[in-house]
Amino acid sequence: MNFSIRPATKADFKDIWRLLRDLASHEEMLDEMDVTYEELERDAFNQNPWIECLVAEVPEENTSKEGFKMVGLAVYFYSYSTWKGRSVYLEDLYVMPEFRGFGIGSHLLSTLAKVAREKQCGQLELNVLGQNTRSLSFYAAKGGQDITARNDWHVLRFNTQSLNDLIS
């Protein structure tokens, strides 16, 4: 199947929002998605963006059943490790179910790796739900190391209420 990977533009945002909502729904976590359309658009497409995005598109003759050309994305941002230096964090990688198995996810990940190397990042990090064995296998096959199992690292999160409690 023909497809292309490119950096997202603000004109892509409606499709990016659609894909992110599809992902949240696919993971049965749509009710966890608190960010609004306006907030995400602002944070992705301003002078100092908090996130960046690569998008996967298919030609007109291969659109989805609903007529969508944009069929996948990788949302990422930069972070820093005081042990490893510059890092890229992959927040979301998603390909619409009917377009899986054509190498789109692999190409999104490969393109992000190129971006990371161009920015002199020493590592790429991401989280995967433990129940998502298909994604865990995908990333492991690409060389991703499960540091939860290897180093006994645990991901901790402070939600809005916890942040407010910390300030008090």
Question: What positions carry a catalytic annotation?
Answer: 139
Give Cβ neighbours of residue 88 (< 8 Å, ≥ 6 apart): 76, 77, 78, 79, 112, 115, 116, 119, 121, 123, 124, 125
| Spatial distance between the Cα atoms of 98 and 49, rounded to a whole number of angstroms | 31
| Spatial distance between the Cα atoms of 134 and 68, rounded to a whole number of angstroms | 25
Indicate the helix (H) or strand (E) that contains 23: helix 13-26
Q: How many CB atoms lie within 10 A of CB 95?
A: 24
Q: Do the Cβ atoms of 54 and 112 come closer than 8 Å? A: yes
Say if residue 129 is exposed, middle or buried (CB neighbours under 10 Å; 0-12, 13-18, 19+): exposed
